[in-house]
Structure 1
């Protein structure tokens, strides 16, 4: 049996999953939104573009939408910098809907239309248990055979929109690679929280979606176990950029890098958010929230009102909220060390990895990395320094953001200039060469 964690595609990371209606009713050119999306380049272009012939397109327009996909992708697909994965209709409980999805795939993948050579796979929504996943796989296999395509040449991604599909992720590891299916074509596991909420009969007082952290964790875990890529669902409040960023931060802590993008503006935010920052920053824990300190002349300055510091004759007084503490210099330093953390820049990560690699070459198994800063609160300065031991496990963990960067650099040459502008060409060159 095939090792389910062995990847069968080039990309290890997907940052952006961007859906576009395939046909807009009442327009002279019903494919105008497809044409606009096909012209996206650089940081505004998604890693995965999804011409959406399901929810984003009215049922009466879907036949035309499938033809529009063929027309637009055949004309512009060769120059599009990301992967192209149309979403077709499907439903675990409706054979007639599955049949329509099959016919859509046949239309889109017909070599006579000229689009299939630029299409990487299909996105299948509303899947159920693992047997339903196999039906979708079989439909794609039949399409490949009918059109003379190599078996497995079209990948399959699914949208997890039901409890059945969530449980099926636990079965996937055992099913991938069996001779009775072609599920090794699997690529993305994508959360669809709206329909998932409906399927779970969940309710909130405001009518808004529950946060579903369990679903995102389970999708990330399922993708890791099966060697796939996990993608979070749509964030509907497209004006709430900070909320979108926070959702992505929460997701990355679960191992889920990718997120659905509804607009080109969200694409740009989601493409940049997972990459290491260009400059490092210090954070201070104030009242249970982390505040980024202002860098000023070699000092890290806290300029808020929730924490204050003053000197006494033989020590310091630290006020936090309603609490006031008298501390010696050493006690203050320990308190502030507990409250501070450092977010490394791309250059910081590369420096540390290169230093550890040099130490390994010299026969050392672990080294200490020092982080230091001068913290200023209410004009009072305190020098802080902390050591972090680096061993092979630390090195491998630090390598993940660099591996992401290298994956982006390899598969998105259209973003090279923007990455060089962001980090500097020297840092980019070092980042592409560091690591095992």
Structure 2
């Protein structure tokens, strides 16, 4: 399965119990919001948070931002009510934590249909356990409604009994497996959060690592991380210039057999990469 490109450079978690934060989010420069009903919301605040998230999703007041709702996990006392309400609200996506098998994906997709979710409401699966990593390829291809993997690096580190370290060595294998699965299935994939909101340099380094690995973007826990994240996951001026040059050289050299640009031989795969760079640039600068 394949999905049309949509910018997901910066995906901000927003506690749905905080009405003031939901209002402020209407003016933020992130590409997507995850209106959270799970970790960021106390148990006694969950019903009100559910109402807030659904109202926000139906409001149409968030402009071009992709609006998703993170429900409580499968097996929790809130899951079914969350999924029913979110499906009825019809956001761009419903984010489900700790999705561990293709069977769960199919059950979630069926439940969303039963609860009346429009076809435009996609399923986003959080990949955050060893079980999910080993099943990632099957999970990614389990149902057409699944559109995105969201990596839960904090839970992965916990499950591995590992440590949070610069460079993320303990989880690189898991990240790579999830990326391979997502790309094989043609779905999007966004990287996990960076916990130290005061460490701008460390955050920028991890964003750069995620971009180099192939992630579409990164999940965020603070609005102050948005600008740096958007910059990291957007093509640079030099990348855009090179992409334009490659595409033009390929077009001008059509039928000649050999095409070069800046002394380098150009093949169709280079043109495909260049065209994607230009498509990303066009998407992130639109509107």
Specify if TM > 0.5: yes
Equivalent residue of 2:5, what SS?
Answer: coil
Q: Which residue of 2 aligns with 1:113?
A: none
Map 1:150-169 → 2, pairs under 5 A = 150=118, 152-169=119-136
Note if contact 2:157-2:170 (Cα within 8 Å) is conserved in structure 1. no
**Structure 2 segments unaligned to the other structure (5+ residues):** none
Q: Which residue of 2 aligns with 1:404?
A: 280
Taking the aligned partners of 2:114 and 2:206, their CA distance within structure 1 comes to 38
Q: Which residue of 1 aligns with 2:109?
A: 137
Note if contact 1:365-1:391 (Cα within 8 Å) is conserved in structure 2. no
**Structure 1 segments unaligned to the other structure (5+ residues):** 25-30, 111-115, 177-182, 279-343, 371-386, 414-436
Map 1:248-287 → 2, pairs under 5 A = 248-278=207-237
Taking the aligned partners of 1:221 and 1:130, their CA distance within structure 2 comes to 16
Deviations along 1:296-348, whole A, 9 cap, x unmatched?
xxxxxxxxxxxxxxxxxxxxxxxxxxxxxxxxxxxxxxxxxxxxxxxx34233
1:365 to 257, 260, 263: 257
Q: CA deviation at 1:64?
A: 0.9
TM-score normalised to structure 1 length: 0.61
Q: Which residue of 1 aligns with 2:246?
A: 352
1:48 to 19, 32, 38: 32
Note if contact 2:127-2:151 (Cα within 8 Å) is conserved in structure 1. yes
Matched, 1:83 2:66: yes
Q: CA deviation at 1:190?
A: 0.9
Q: CA deviation at 1:78?
A: 4.0
Q: Which residue of 2 aligns with 1:39?
A: 27
Larger RCO: 1 or 2 (CA < 8 Å, sep 6+): 2
Change (3 A) 1:366 1:237: farther
Q: CA deviation at 1:221?
A: 0.8
Q: CA deviation at 1:167?
A: 1.8
**Greater fraction helix:** 2
1:120 to 71, 89, 92: 92
Matched, 1:244 2:120: no
TM-score normalised to structure 2 length: 0.89
Change (3 A) 1:395 1:265: same
Q: Which residue of 2 aligns with 1:102?
A: 80
Matched, 1:70 2:42: no
Q: Which residue of 2 aligns with 1:306?
A: none
Q: Which residue of 1 aligns with 2:183?
A: 224
Equivalent residue of 2:148, what SS?
Answer: strand
Taking the aligned partners of 1:189 and 1:88, their CA distance within structure 2 comes to 15
Deviations along 1:43-99, whole A, 9 cap, x unmatched?
x2x222111111111222111100111333444x344221111001014xxx3x1x5
Note if contact 2:163-2:170 (Cα within 8 Å) is conserved in structure 1. no
Taking the aligned partners of 1:355 and 1:62, their CA distance within structure 2 comes to 56
Deviations along 1:206-227, whole A, 9 cap, x unmatched?
8x97651112211111111111
Taking the aligned partners of 2:13 and 2:183, their CA distance within structure 1 comes to 24
Equivalent residue of 1:51, what SS?
Answer: strand
Note if contact 1:16-1:271 (Cα within 8 Å) is conserved in structure 2. yes
Change (3 A) 1:393 1:17: same
- Please identify the structure whose Cα radius of gyration is greater: 1
Note if contact 1:126-1:161 (Cα within 8 Å) is conserved in structure 2. yes
Equivalent residue of 1:389, what SS?
Answer: strand
CA RMSD of aligned residues (A): 2.5
Note if contact 1:368-1:388 (Cα within 8 Å) is conserved in structure 2. yes
Q: Which residue of 2 aligns with 1:19?
A: 13
Deviations along 1:88-114, whole A, 9 cap, x unmatched?
1014xxx3x1x522201323444xxxx
